[in-house]
Chain A
Amino acid sequence: MVNDLSLDTINALAALILLADFMLVASSRMRSLTRIFALQSLAMGGLAAVVAFETGVGHIYVVAVLSIALKAVVIPRFIDYTADKIQVNREVEPLVKIPGSLLICAAITMLAYFVTEPIMELGTAITSNCLAISFATVLIGMFMMVSRRKAITEVVGLLVVENGVFLAAVSTTYSMPMVVELGVFFDIFVGVIIMGVFAFRINRTFETVDSTVLRRLKD
């Protein structure tokens, strides 16, 4: 039988992940962006650890540790480093204003719930009610990528999407097979590095990391 305390912890961490989504959308400083992302990844890792403890599936521990180590420590550091290096302006520069973004995200959350409701009712996993939050996280991550100007914010958005996918995996099927999981981590890590390099490039070519100027490449 599932321990009540674990269930409460999982719910609390899921709520924290959702809260982090909103904080990401609400923050107007680059620095706080990476910090909140680190927090979210930490919650993510914690959640995975609790699930591992509860289900006894050993490899989820590995995933949890990796998640914390990579996404809560290494990647945020790397992003901060990149941002410092190219001396990016600390304002986030959203295309959609923050109040509007927040309301859109609230709508997204409801949409996510609406979409996942039938699936969650079928779900037998202890964490099945996290599914709505994972969908919301994916969608909010995408929304961040769409609505924020800077290349670096797009990277954070992508990472948030990845967190969402990861949460979905953990909450429905107690995570994917080990190999896939590791592969994804590796992909993400490489992806971030490549994007960091690209950010350098964009910066050097256009003297800005505003990704909207890439439109000029069209003609």
Chain B
Amino acid sequence: MLTSMVQALLVLALSPLFTGLIRRSKAYFQGRQGASVLQPYRDLAKLFRKDSVLSHDASWIMTITPYVCMTAVIAAALMVPFITDSSLGFVGDLIVVVYLFGTMRFFMALAGLDAGSSFGGMGSSREMTVSAIVEPTILLSIFTMALISGTTDLSGISRNLATSGLDLVRPALFLALAAFFISTLAENARVPVDNPSTHLELTMIHEAMVLEHSGKHLALMEWSSMTKLLLYAVIMANVFLPWGIATDLTAIGLATGIVAMSLKLLLFGLAIALVESSMAKLRLFRLPNLLTVSFSLSLLAVISYYIL
């Protein structure tokens, strides 16, 4: 219970840092100076101090959405292992976590439609299109890991994998990891699916949906999105490459866990930044190619688990 809460708070507190890290390294790869890694914190603090503007056309959906989104990610954060196992892992397994993200997406897209601007509608429509292929990919790739490790409990997966040395490593793991990485980019509005740093109509998916939010509401939406990104990275780290996770609550175990997690997150952050700097955003109707690649990778992962 307690470890879960501490870990969830930690995830919540560190998520702007992770986003800042990605932005900074992206700037580095592109030869720019870039803002400090702490900039997202300042942005959030500033937004929290501002008035919220709501549209005349919007209903109560618009008002509750930021809170629902924040709630969904925090609930997910409580069930995901971070430095060590989540002690609330028994409450919900990986399917619950994935569907909690689904809840967040559902409300975000509803709010996108709520203000009656065509930008919001466009964002919602595209978001749901992308998620139609991404969600099954995520489920299938984590299911592969569930099959490999013999449990669907996220903490269980990482524990079983980490304690068994390299015995459980199979080709299926890497196929699933690749599928999950592509899905992470797609789910968190990163290049090549979406561009997080523009409001251009061409790239409008996530940014278009939150266009009508402002002030505190926007801060909550942004923060929950950053937390979601960090959570995906954490799931990637702990489910696919859990070696180093603290399996007991001793000082040494925790220290190793913290170091290992920081290294892995740093690695993922750099990987995302590298992908974002080296690839162009894909045209919307080119996306199905990429997404079906990741979907067939995840399908292939399960099949190869059974065949090989």
Contacts and interface: CB of A to CB of B under 8 A. Distances in A.
Q: Do chains A and B touch in the complex (CB under 8 A)?
A: yes
A15 B175 contact: yes
Interface string B36-52: 00000000000000000
A12 interface: yes
B171 A28 contact: no
B308 interface: yes
Contacts of B300: 18-19, 22, 106, 109
A103 interface: yes
Given A109-B300, A129-B308, A132-B307, A98 B172 contact: no
A98 B297 contact: no
A14 B304 CA distance: 10
Contacts of A110: 303
A22 B172 CA distance: 14
Given A106-B299, A109-B300, A133 B307 contact: yes
Contacts of B293: 22, 26, 98, 102
A22 B297 contact: yes
A105 B292 contact: no
Interface residues of B, number: 21
A99 B293 CA distance: 7
A113 interface: yes
A104 to B, nearest CB: 10
A11 B292 contact: no
A105 B307 contact: no
Contacts of B308: 11, 14-15, 129
Contacts of B171: 11-12, 14-16
Nearest to B178: A19
B296 A113 contact: no
Contacts of B292: 26, 98-99, 102-103
A130 to B, nearest CB: 8
Contacts of A98: 288-289, 292-293
Interface string A128-153: 01001100000000000000000000
Contacts of B172: 15
B170 interface: yes
Interface in B268-308: 288-289, 291-293, 295-297, 299-300, 303-304, 306-308
Contacts of B169: 8
**Majority SS at the chain A contact face:** helix
Nearest to B290: A26
Contact of B304 (A8, A15, A99, A103): A15
Nearest to B133: A99
Nearest to A113: B307
Contacts of B304: 15, 18
Contacts of B288: 98-99
B192 to A, nearest CB: 13
B307 A103 contact: no
B119 to A, nearest CB: 27
A8 B166 CA distance: 11
Nearest to B301: A15
B196 to A, nearest CB: 25
B16 to A, nearest CB: 35
A106 B170 CA distance: 19
Interface string B163-175: 0000001111011
A129 B303 CA distance: 13
Contact of B303 (A8, A11, A28, A113): A113
Contacts of B295: 102
Interface of B: 169-172, 174-175, 288-289, 291-293, 295-297, 299-300, 303-304, 306-308
For the complex of A and B, the 10 pairs showing the least CB-CB separation, nearest first, are: A15-B171, A99-B292, A102-B296, A11-B308, A98-B289, A26-B293, A102-B292, A99-B288, A12-B171, A106-B296
15 contacts: A14-B171, A15-B172, A15-B175, A15-B304, A19-B175, A26-B289, A28-B289, A98-B293, A99-B289, A99-B291, A102-B293, A109-B300, A109-B303, A113-B307, A132-B307
Given A16-B171, A102-B293, 5 more contacts: A11-B171, A15-B171, A19-B300, A26-B289, A102-B292
